[in-house]
Structure 1
Amino acid sequence: MKSSRKILLRALLGLALLGAVLALADPRRVLASLGQAHPGWLLTGFAAAIASNLVSALRWRALARWLGADMGMRDAIRWYFQAIGLNALLPGAVVGGDLYRAVVLRRTGQDAVASSWSVVLDRVSGLWMLCAIGGLGAAASVGTLGAALGLSPALLRGMALCGTALWLVLPWCLPALLRHGAGWRWLAPLRTAAVRPDFQCQLGRQALASGAVQVLSAAALAAGGLALGIQLPPAAWAWAIAPVFLMAALPVSVGGWGTREAAAVAALAPFGVAVPAAVGAAMLYGVYGLVQGALGALAFGLPSRGQTVAAIDPAQDGHGN
């Protein structure tokens, strides 16, 4: 019951935030904007969103196999798109889908540690590259962002570039950093992976795949914006994806609804984007996820009830962890 109350609370919190954002934007204006969306740009955004998740699925498969948990390409795509459906429908943003991926891979007989860490590191690598691209976008948009924040463009550019550079090299420092945490047992699998001779090559491949995922995701969000008449330079979208996607990933809503729209309003406001248009663009990106989850269910089937319960509540998993 305690877990059920938490799920309900998250759902209500996300819905309340979405309602507040829609009230601020004026629902009639948002609906009017969505009703006039350009079909060509809508389809372009949807295609980019699908491509992004296909690359994500293949990135996860490559990482899992490197860690010792084997799975076929079809299985990786099938489980990934089923996870998208869970993410879109369950409270907890990406948490439910990520737990599902770890559970279903482990239940095929793969190593439990490798299965779990493949999902954790896959998610972390995506967030790592997302923040890096956001930092580069901020550095290229210092004129607009500096004026909004009351900071010198030169100072803001220097902070963004230095921070992004340090952020990008951080994973290559992982072996040295992990030696300082030798007493933490839960990091043992990561330490083992970091000392492998092919660690640097795998990290490079992971970085390239994550970069492609985030570029395609940014293109999906930008295409949704263009469908609503939002004309912004690529650097502005590169900056915007960081707060928008990070807020959508917080486990305090259903499928990121509410948090994603609030972040879009804040991130796009310095560029003169009206609130209804910003909310509409974020909602279109959310709809892309809903449609992909539905198509994934039609193409690959729904997760079994036991797997879905395990994704919602790990305590229900037969392995007990």
Structure 2
Amino acid sequence: MAALSPAPGGLVGQAPVAAERRRDRPRIRLAVRIVAGAAILAATALVVGLGPFVRGIAAISPPSVLAALVLAAIATAAAAWRWRVVATGYGLTLSRREAFAAYYRSQFLNAVLPAGVLGDVHRAWAHGRGQARVGVAARAVVAERLLGQVVQIVLTLAVLLPLGLGSSLVPLAWSAGAIAVLVAVVAASAALLPRPRRILRRECALLRPVLARPAALSAIVLASAVVVASHVALFVVACLTVGLPLDGGIPAVGLIVLAASAIPVNVGGWGPREAVAGAAFALVGLGASAGVSASTAFGVLALLGVAPGAVVLFLARRRRP
């Protein structure tokens, strides 16, 4: 008796289902990140109450908004410079004016849209579309953000670990060290898998000519340091705005809060940042409520600081035929 072969229709029917599942994965991941960020924010509010959030918003003043606009402009110019250096290494063309305007726009979109990365997605798509190289442009944006975060982590550890010895920042120093070790272990474990290893090898090969040039590497490090310094300065402004004393440990705490802002589980940047700020301020004896108030003021000022990106977005839409 001949063996019965499976009906080809079953295989044909399974292909669209599998393709649809693959298309749904990014949306599912985005939804999970948003829900997780909202849950962290809600949990923080349950612990400290709504008062610290209200105080942080109510403390915003015209001088603090002006400082936010100036510091955001400096950070945007530095980040756009870093992007140009990396994009050039990928063989893309990017003018100073285009990079500055596009980075403002992407920061605004990151701030007002969930997950905190959709502005970067739009920046990569808009840049690559004009040169018919969307894939390469996307990889350049990912590399640019990744290099910036690497410099930020190194600076954070370089500042926190020495300061933590024999001071009230010992818990923060140990926490930063533990987080760095955890990130290194996760990254190393992922790099051992076949597919991530291939991707990492390919991207390193593309970035090697950029990172091998001392001028380009120095520009990336310097630009990233300016971005971090501008954000820390804005956090100090936020602390002063909510009435906290200017303490030498505030900038170090700001570095921890900035690191939490980079966690891709948030709602427009909100969530882990407030939770970590509350915990960090409690560890150094300033109180969790003060940390949440400062983080809330920082979040509002950061949003107002990138508001010029809305103007860039509006003008771009008006010029579109």
TM-score normalized by the length of structure 2: 0.74
Q: CA RMSD in A?
A: 3.2
1:92–1:252: 8 Å Cα contact kept in structure 2? yes
1:73: how far off?
A: 1.8
Distance 2:316 2:211 in 1: 37
| Partner residue, 2:284 | 271
| Partner residue, 1:248 | 261
2:104–2:312: 8 Å Cα contact kept in structure 1? no
Distance 1:289 1:35 in 2: 15
Aligned pair partner of 1:106 in 128, 143, 147 = 128
| Partner residue, 2:270 | 257
| Partner residue, 2:296 | 283
Distance 1:101 1:115 in 2: 9
Matches of residues 146-157 of structure 1 in structure 2 within 5 Å? 146=170, 148=171
| Partner residue, 1:116 | 138
2:72–2:230: 8 Å Cα contact kept in structure 1? yes
| Partner residue, 2:18 | none
Unaligned runs of at least 5 residues, structure 1: 168-180, 305-321
Q: For the structure 1 residues 292 and 44, does the alpha-carbon distance in structure 2 shift closer, same or farther, using more than 3 Å as the test?
A: closer
Q: For the structure 1 residues 265 and 97, does the alpha-carbon distance in structure 2 shift closer, same or farther, using more than 3 Å as the test?
A: same
2:274–2:292: 8 Å Cα contact kept in structure 1? yes
Unaligned runs of at least 5 residues, structure 2: 1-23, 185-194
1:130 and 2:144 correspond: no
| Partner residue, 1:187 | 201
- Which residue identity lines up with residue 144 of structure 1 in the other structure? S
Distance 1:28 1:197 in 2: 47
The Cα offsets for residues 49-87 of structure 1, whole Å up to 9 and x where unpaired, read as 332122212221232123321122221122112211221
| Partner residue, 1:171 | none
1:229 and 2:263 correspond: no
Distance 1:29 1:7 in 2: 28
- Give the secondary structure class of the aligned counterpart of 2:265: coil
- Give the secondary structure class of the aligned counterpart of 1:7: helix
1:200 and 2:224 correspond: no
- Give the secondary structure class of the aligned counterpart of 2:130: coil
1:135: how far off?
A: 1.4
| Partner residue, 1:307 | none
1:98: how far off?
A: 2.2
Q: How many residues end up aligned between the 2 structures?
A: 277
1:227: how far off?
A: 0.9
1:63 and 2:83 correspond: no
Q: For the structure 1 residues 48 and 200, does the alpha-carbon distance in structure 2 shift closer, same or farther, using more than 3 Å as the test?
A: same
Distance 1:64 1:28 in 2: 44
Q: For the structure 1 residues 253 and 232, does the alpha-carbon distance in structure 2 shift closer, same or farther, using more than 3 Å as the test?
A: same
Q: For the structure 1 residues 104 and 135, does the alpha-carbon distance in structure 2 shift closer, same or farther, using more than 3 Å as the test?
A: same
1:144 and 2:168 correspond: yes
Q: Which of the pair has more CA radius of gyration?
A: 2
- Which residue identity lines up with residue 49 of structure 1 in the other structure? A
- Which residue identity lines up with residue 226 of structure 1 in the other structure? L
1:209 and 2:232 correspond: no
Distance 1:34 1:54 in 2: 27
Q: For the structure 1 residues 3 and 206, does the alpha-carbon distance in structure 2 shift closer, same or farther, using more than 3 Å as the test?
A: closer
2:274–2:295: 8 Å Cα contact kept in structure 1? yes
